Homo-oligomer: A and B are copies of this chain.
């Protein structure tokens, strides 16, 4: 069971890296395999793949990791206190891409499985994941394409999933301290154990397999759009918001950093650069203002 998921995740990572390197054309991912030192609380291995200064991608990564531990931390079992302290195994693929051209959106995708083996109960497996898009300049056709691709993928497993996981995504990727969404959302699910392993694994594959179809057509459409200093400055400020979300609110990032995870792998989600300005607001009526008024507020893009 774990082997089946592991094989799927490694295959997914390989397919994605291959397609992204072809799309980039100018850079290759740097592969960094790692194994946890024997004395650490978590055991396991991983393969980080990072791209920097590509023709298309200014910075990004697609990481696989599989760790096991003797005691499941309480923060991972908020909804299942009976599993706290059980031996566990966790594996997943996580991806973030920051393109250089401000017309190409930043994207995030993650699929993960967690299995707990309590001494006196049946083992429990649950799944999490999703993908979401963070454009700098909002485009209706991109948003519709991204969400429609997510919807189609999840509909093939269960038609109830897309509306539910789309809403969850809008709620999760939200900067509460700014009252502002991180981007235009997508899908997000966590702690998913309905229908047992088979159903969860099907949901994981539906999500992972849809990523390239959801994202690459948008890249191809936007990559040659011209941009200048104005677009770049706006991208930098928006990247600052991305940093704020990931470091202040993202549970995976915080849990990883505070529990001794591999810092450089976790922080591959950071943009290559970011900027902050006091009380900055876009000029009313501008393309930058349209992001705030027409794209960040949750909308039903796949209607």
A interface residues, how many (CB within 8 angstroms) = 35
Minimum CB–CB distance for A229 against chain B, Å: 14
Q: Is A178 an interface residue (CB 8 A)?
A: yes
Contact present for B272 and A268 (CB under 8 Å)? no
Copies of this protein in the complex: 2
Q: Is A293 an interface residue (CB 8 A)?
A: no
- Which A54-95 residues sit within 8 Å CB-CB of chain B? 59, 61
Q: Is A286 an interface residue (CB 8 A)?
A: no
Contact present for B264 and A279 (CB under 8 Å)? yes
Residues on B with C-beta less than 8 A from A254 are 248
Minimum CB–CB distance for A201 against chain B, Å: 31
Q: Is A218 an interface residue (CB 8 A)?
A: no
**Chain A interface secondary structure, helix, strand, loop or mixed?**
mixed
Contact present for B277 and A274 (CB under 8 Å)? no
Residues on B with C-beta less than 8 A from A276 are 59, 267, 270-273
Q: Is A294 an interface residue (CB 8 A)?
A: no
Contact present for B279 and A240 (CB under 8 Å)? no
- Which A1-50 residues sit within 8 Å CB-CB of chain B? 30, 32, 50
When C-beta atoms are compared, the residue in chain B nearest to A266 turns out to be B177
Minimum CB–CB distance for A187 against chain B, Å: 26
Chosen A-B contacts, 27 in total, with CB atoms closer than 8 Å, are: A30-B278, A52-B277, A52-B278, A59-B278, A176-B257, A176-B258, A177-B257, A177-B260, A177-B261, A177-B266, A178-B263, A236-B273, A240-B270, A243-B247, A244-B247, A244-B267, A247-B248, A248-B254, A248-B258, A264-B278, A264-B279, A267-B276, A270-B276, A271-B276, A273-B275, A274-B274, A274-B275
